[in-house]
Amino acid sequence: MKVAIIGAGQVGSAAAFAIALQAAASEIVLIDRDPALAAAQAEDIAHAVPFAGAARLGTGGYDAAAGAAVTVLAAGVAQRPGESRLDLLARNAEVFRAIVAEVLRVAPGTLILVATNPVDIMTQVATRLSGLPPGRVIGTGTILDTARFRHLLGRHLGVAPQSVHGLVLGEHGDSEVLCWSGATLGAAPLAQVAEDLGRPLDPAARGAIDAGVRRAADRIIAGKGATWFGIGAGIARLVQAIATDARDVLTLSMLTPEACGTRDIALSLPRVIGAEGIVATLPPQLSRDETEALARSAALLKSLADPLGV
């Protein structure tokens, strides 16, 4: 399977590296407005391939994306000093207008994975601009937040994070919702297991985990300027699910007809993803407080997306 990645910066290159190491694609093409950067990233990653897989790495202009089954959008503009979030969104929407048109010109059958932040709104923009069915334009959404939640829960309980089932829904951002009420371990409610293990999830523990998830990006950015390894691995997981038609259930963003009373908004819910993209959404069972928080998250996203007029 061929994967094209638009944007060869930290996120795009980390995604390419993870895809190559997981052997999730047979061909990876990096496309960037700086061809030298794309070429350097591709060559560096190609030197890692003999240790793990057999992916072919390439670069080029948009024509190099021809035939891509999956196209990852990891390009965007940085926020200028004094620029409002809405102004930044408007400029990124214009960037996407050009990118999406070029991608569909050369790869009309591609699935689009959106990684550019703010990912929920950019997923909505990409869906509108492309005219593709919503299930074929997939935002990485809260897959990274969910991974952070599981990591911190696993560390607190002393178990592997892969064994913890806990979701983060809504916006990939400050209004995201940690779903404590439905979290489980070994088919038992998380709170009960925590007590049995002698590691209770009291208010202090929950508060620390909540802050750990919600402020993770702030800490990483303060230390090294940006985050890329976690989301790169998340993108590779999505590519693998598409390549193998795995029907994984992941917290992904997609333009959704209605969520908690808000219509036509992209946000993360549990979605089934396979070869055709997102094929189903699984309505979560939430507590009253979580339902209200998800409604607030959806309304916030709507207030940011609507002024763009896309």
What DSSP string describes 60-126?
-SGGGGTT-SEEEE---PPPPTT--HHHHHHHHHHHHHHHHHHHHHH-TT-EEEE-SSSHHHHHHHH
For 3, the token pair is 């994967």
* Burial (0-12, 13-18, 19+ Cβ within 10 Å), 282: exposed
Residues with a known catalytic role: 172
Residue 118: is the preceding peptide bond cis (ω within 30°)?
yes
Tokens 């999830």 found at? 201
The 10 Å Cβ neighbour count of residue 240 is 18
Q: Are strands 184-185 and 168-169 parallel, antiparallel or unpaired?
A: unpaired
